[in-house]
Amino acid sequence: MAMKRGMRLDIDEKRWRQRAPVAALLLLALFVAGCSSGGFGGSSAPAAPAAPAPAATTSVAPPPSAPPPSAPAPATAASPQVPSSPSFKDKITSFFTGKSATAPQGVANAPVSNPDVACPLIDIRAGASTLTIPPSSGEGTAMALKYQGTFVRAARECAIVGNQMVMKLGIQGRVIVGPAGGPGRVDVPLRIAVVNETTANSKLIVTKLIRIPVGIGSTDPGATFTHIEEGLSFPLPTDNSLESYIVYIGFDPVAAEAQDTAKPAPKAKPPKPKPNSNAPSG
């Protein structure tokens, strides 16, 4: 029995000695883990607190410096007042200057101021579209031509005043210098006539002769003339015949010549009596 107990003690001692290194290694491993984890069997150490973010700073721009005083703006002249509605002369001038005045064009008929009433149209009288100075007398007179006049364009405007039709006309033409012409003054005889044209007959309503002086310079090949007729009026017809009214324009040198011929010659003043040198003196 004593032997068995001694053998058992030896065996237990051997087992203890064999397990002692293992236990020592285990304790060492646990100790190292505890040091790294902050404690034996403890949970993982909390993460180090993050560095506080820098406080946001708001940059305040310095107040802008006051701008230097600017020089006073130069005084400008007051702009002219624009009229509320252009006059007929302004409209005619604008109409004429808006296109070339070197070549004849068809006459223009402006809008009617009263749409309920027909405004007579403008036309060039047949045989009166060209002015020749001196008048053409047949063949072989081309080189004797001094001046030639033609129409370029025309426009009109109508208004009803009481029982009268009042028309304003704008007429533009051109005078060119011929082979025998030169600088000087040309008298352009313009005829305006309002005619009631029907298939049965033609009835003259009103007519007017205007003398337009046109000056031509020494180096000019010609000159343009413009005439504004402000008050051509005639009674309104009682029937619907106004639609057949036509305003004719044309050159009328025959009437101008007759007008010049009809002018009486100025009377000659009687000569003053000469003093009598033989008369006795007092």
User: What pLDDT was estimated at residue 11?
Assistant: 55
Bridge-based pairing of strands 184-197 and 164-177 is unpaired
For the beta sheet containing 222-235, the strands, ordered from the edge strand earlier in sequence to the opposite edge, are 130-133, 147-161, 164-177, 222-235
- Answer whether residue 55 is part of any domain: no
Closest C-alpha among 134, 106, 108, 132 to residue 121: 108
Residue 245's domain comprises 88-262
Please check whether residues 32 and 116 belong to one and the same domain. Answer: no
- Answer whether residue 271 is part of any domain: no
- Answer whether residue 246 is part of any domain: yes
Length of the chain as a residue count: 282
- Ranges in the chain, pLDDT < 50: 1-4, 6, 9, 32, 35-49, 53-60, 74-85, 95-106, 110-111, 113
CA atoms of 169 and 240, how far apart (whole Å): 23
User: What pLDDT was estimated at residue 107?
Assistant: 54
Mean pLDDT of the chain: 73
- Answer whether residue 80 is part of any domain: no
Q: What is the pTM of this model?
A: 0.56
User: What pLDDT was estimated at residue 77?
Assistant: 44
pLDDT digits (tens, 9 = 90+) for 195-212: 999 988 999 999 999 999
- Answer whether residue 199 is part of any domain: yes
